Each structure stands twice: as structure tokens, then as C-alpha cells.
């Protein structure tokens, strides 16, 4: 039976944006962090791995820290919730 992967983008999940580190703001650090996250059948992250760095450790840490608080729609096999992996991109962008 086919497995539907976990999801994180549904508006009703109300997942917070990461805090932009103040020093990163002052230093004009921007970038895209890509995290590989293992989601439990209950819709919680239980493993977070850095897939691709933004190039700035502070931004990578802020992205990793926030996803631990997120809720996810778990993967499904038929009608059953199962554990699964999802790739999550988080962009840090300073608007002028």
C-alpha cells in the first residue's frame, strides 16, 4: 500500500515562523535552510537533521529550533498514521 508523506504547510497547523536572530539581522545574514525531519504517527518531530545549510550557523539553529515546536500532518498508509520523513525549507530573508 502506498504511503502518503507527512505535511507541514496546512494553515490550520499554525506553525510559528522562526525567530530571526538579532545578530544575523545586524550582519545582514540571509539564506535558505533545508531540514530533513522525521515525523511520528502523532504528528510531532522526533528527529531533525540539517540537509542544507544557509551558510550561517545562527540561521540554521533558529530553523532547527522552531520545527521542534511545529505540528505536522503525519504520513499515512491507507487510513493508518505512520512515521515518515519530510524535507522542510525555511527561508530567512531581510526585507528592505
Q: Where are the domains of the chain?
A: 3-92
Q: How far apart are CA 6 and CA 3, in angstroms?
A: 9
Three-state secondary-structure class, residue 65? helix
- Return the beta strands (E) in the chain as ranges: 3-4, 31-39, 45-52, 75-77, 80-82, 84-92
**pLDDT at residue number 2:** 87
For the record, the C-alpha cell of 50 comes out as: 540539517
Q: How many residues does the chain have?
A: 96
Residue with cell 515562523: 17
pTM above 0.85, yes or no: yes
pLDDT along the chain (96 residues), means of 10: 85 88 97 97 97 98 96 94 96 86
pLDDT in tens, 4-31: 889 888 777 889 999 999 999 999 999 9
| Domain 3-92 listed as CATH 3.30.2420.10 | yes
**pLDDT at residue number 72:** 94
Amino acid at each position: 500500500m502506498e504511503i502518503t508523506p507527512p505535511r507541514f504547510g496546512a494553515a490550520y497547523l499554525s506553525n510559528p515562523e522562526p525567530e530571526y536572530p538579532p545578530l544575523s539581522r545586524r550582519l545582514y545574514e540571509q539564506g535558505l535552510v533545508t531540514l530533513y525531519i522525521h515525523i511520528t504517527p502523532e504528528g510531532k518531530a522526533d528527529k531533525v537533521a540539517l540537509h542544507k545549510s544557509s551558510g550561517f550557523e545562527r540561521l540554521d539553529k533558529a530553523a532547527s529550533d522552531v520545527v521542534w515546536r511545529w505540528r505536522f500532518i503525519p504520513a499515512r498508509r491507507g487510513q493508518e498514521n505512520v512515521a515518515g520523513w519530510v524535507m522542510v525549507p525555511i527561508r530567512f530573508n531581510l526585507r528592505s
